[in-house]
Structure 1
Amino acid sequence: MDVLPPYRIRVSGRARRARLTVDPGGEVEVVLPRGAPARLAAELVRSHRGWIEARRAPARARRAHPRLGLAPRLVALRAAGEAWRVVCDPAAPPGLREEAGARTLRLGGEAARRPARWLQAWLGERARALLPALVAAQAERTGLRPARVTVRAQRTRWGSCSAAGTVSLNRNLLLLPRWLVRYLIVHELAHLRHLDHSDAFWAEVARHEPRWRRAERALRRQVLPLWSLPACGR
């Protein structure tokens, strides 16, 4: 018998189609539209088995080796075209020091022993400094202007848009290629006109990003470094 990875099902009245998520802990969730047959969840998991295993691999590695990959040699902010060297020195003064001229992040004391927490905090600050400008550029291009932009540490979403017009973006977007970040921003801006994922919503997305299907496929293949996952910063 075909053995599938374990998964849970959540039924959503807002969902227009079935979708699959894998959280940082490796838990698999299938979201089904109301009224969809449960067998659709199994079919989705079966057809995306390879993608699921790739997404669960970091969580398995983290459980087997808790400190594996938590002190990277390089932090690549692909959305911003920046690469920062990471130097860990427990004997150095405590904290994270940004040496902008040398594009170096120097971690000393407790920061060197628990680098993920400090690197995530730094990434959040960098994201709050850079992502709003990217949103502003796409708002100008599309004419879709949010009331407010926030940057957060979402566990299962790249971004969201509220009924009040607030666009919230995941700080880890800075780690993705710039063209994918542009698509994610346009996706959330399109929700300013259509809060659901209706045909009208996707038509709005296609007006501004004709290659949105390619972007959606590419997003499913993205694997973030271990140090950037929220569970590693505890």
Structure 2
Amino acid sequence: MRKLGRLRVALVGLLIWGAVFVLGVPVLAVEPWSGTVSYSWRDQAQLQVGYRVNELFGFELAYRDLGLQELAGNRWQTRLLLTPGDRYKFQTGYDLTGEHYFVGGQANIPLNQNLRFVSEVNTILPVSNGAKYLDYLMGLQIGIGYNHYLLAGAQAEYNLEEDHEPELFVELDLNWRLPKGFGIRVQPHIGVEGNFHHQTTIFKTWPNKLETGLVVGQEPGGRWDVGLFLRY
């Protein structure tokens, strides 16, 4: 029965991708495809391929981490993306490796010229009996200069059947554009209770919109990671 369930999921996925090719090609004018390939010391090889049917709908197939500490490790995933405007994004999908459903969304709402309310929510639900997880973040994003931002807010990752306390944090997103398509992005994250991690990205944007880069960072717990990526 379990193998039959996986077969059904695979068939549904093939039908969706078939519909994308049949119906989506004449709808889009430019740049329907997107993709990222990366390799890092801790996360190993990861990939993501996306296809936009139109401005509202898109699909994604990926092999990467779900972003939860409790469900660590790279997994095959498929997602349906819904973007009803510039302020909101929604997605629903299936973890083909671990057999989890997930549904979530993001909001980015301008309050004035230099202030935005941002939030992210992702719910992980097992196919059969198992723990249900919620991963969320919300806060205020403040512009502190050209392409530089400060995010102050709260976040948590927890089992829905257990009590939790959100982590209060401050995060900087500092970006510098350099000549010949190069750039540097520095993202330190400081938790009120002492949690600290950071990531620095050195990248180059090529004339064909291809972007390549080197990422160096320190994860929560003090573990370092180094990786390369290629993104289109």
Fold shared by both chains (TM-score > 0.5): no
**Structure in which a larger fraction of residues adopt strand:** 2
Q: TM-score, normalised by structure 2?
A: 0.23
Q: Which has the higher contact order (CA 8 A, sep 6+)?
A: 1
Q: TM-score by structure 1 length?
A: 0.23
